[in-house]
Amino acid sequence: MKLDGYSAIVTGGASGLGAATARALAGAGASVLLADLQDGAALAAELGGAAIRGDVAEPDFAESAVARAVELAPLGVLVNCAGVGSAGRILGRDGPMQLDAYTRVIRVNLIGSFNMLRVAAGAMAKNAPQGSDGERGVIVNTASIAAYDGQVGQAAYASSKAGIVGLTLPAARELARAGIRVVTIAPGLFETPMMMGLPADVQASLGASVPYPPRLGMPAEYAALALHIVANTMLNGETIRLDGALRMAPR
């Protein structure tokens, strides 16, 4: 899909993978809306776009974000990058995991992604068809390799990301008749604020655990794949691992 004359929403766009993707989409001609709990105004100004603050899991926020994007230009792209990490055992030292801890992660990562997808698809379906394939929009979700290789302590996070993987094909199948594609990226270990909070030696050993290249992924590498997904109309209904062949060990 060509981006000139379209807007693109990037959730979680104020930081990490989302910020890098917002830069790439703006560079490719889209008017970018950063939708994040954090303030993305400075980055939005730099990109000539806009920012809106709120919680992706709230129905009203999805409506407001999509309406704001459509004010910029018809909505062509949604990239769901908003997410939270979590670590906690099902049976910890203090007994079973608090149900709230599990619910919080599912709510932001899975329900938040679906919430934005459903409202964005509604706006995209109203676009004029583009090109010989009649494309109207592209939705890129962010899972994680934890969806497949969840480690001890990742029950909540891995479940939330596996839900996104499971959402991808039925959403692509259903939205096909509207000319809207749905593709998910499952990143391995990337150098973002989520990861930079860890001690340097832990980051180095995590990087070295990647078969090739033996380092953390760069946000620009995630953004490059997101941009390719937008450009390549044949990519649809699939989750793509972006992980340097990393398969995570049980712990």
38 is an interface residue for ligand NAD by CB under 6 A:
yes
Q: Label residue 119 exposed, middle or buried (CB < 10 Å: 0-12, 13-18, 19+).
A: buried
106 is an interface residue for ligand NAD by CB under 6 A:
no
Among 1, 8, 9, 17, binds ligand NAD (CB under 6 A): 17
81 is an interface residue for ligand NAD by CB under 6 A:
yes
Number of residues counted as binding ligand NAD (CB under 6 A):
29
C-alpha pair distances (Å), 6 with each of 9, 29, 34, 113, 250: 10, 8, 14, 21, 43
Which of 66-74, 97-105, 108-116, 171-179 is the region at the interface with ligand NAD (rule: CB under 6 A)? 108-116
DSSP 55-93: -TT-HHHHHHHHHHHHHHS-EEEEEE-------B-SEET
Q: Label residue 202 exposed, middle or buried (CB < 10 Å: 0-12, 13-18, 19+).
A: exposed
114 is an interface residue for ligand NAD by CB under 6 A:
no
6 is an interface residue for ligand NAD by CB under 6 A:
no
25 is an interface residue for ligand NAD by CB under 6 A:
no
Structure tokens at 161: 């990301």
Query: How many Cα atoms sit within 13 Å of 194 on the Cβ side?
Result: 22
Is residue 212 annotated as a catalytic residue, yes or no? no
Structure tokens at 80: 């769901």
10 is an interface residue for ligand NAD by CB under 6 A:
no
Among 49, 74, 76, 83, binds ligand NAD (CB under 6 A): 83
224 is an interface residue for ligand NAD by CB under 6 A:
no
195 is an interface residue for ligand NAD by CB under 6 A:
yes
DSSP bridge pairs for 242: 187
Among 36, 47, 149, 244, binds ligand NAD (CB under 6 A): 36
Give min distance, CB of 2 to ligand NAD, in A: 26
Among 22, 47, 82, 156, binds ligand NAD (CB under 6 A): 82
1 is an interface residue for ligand NAD by CB under 6 A:
no
Residues ≥6 apart with Cβ < 8 Å to 132: none
Catalytic residue from among 6, 102, 148, 157: 157
Distance CA 192, CA 220 (A): 11
Distance CA 216, CA 161 (A): 20
Asked if residue 236 lies in contact with residue 203, where contact means CB atoms within 8 angstroms, the answer is no
What is the set of active-site residues?
Answer: 157
Judged by the rule CB under 6 A, the positions of this chain that interact with ligand NAD are 11-12, 14-18, 36-38, 55-57, 81-84, 108-109, 112, 142, 144, 187, 189-190, 192-195
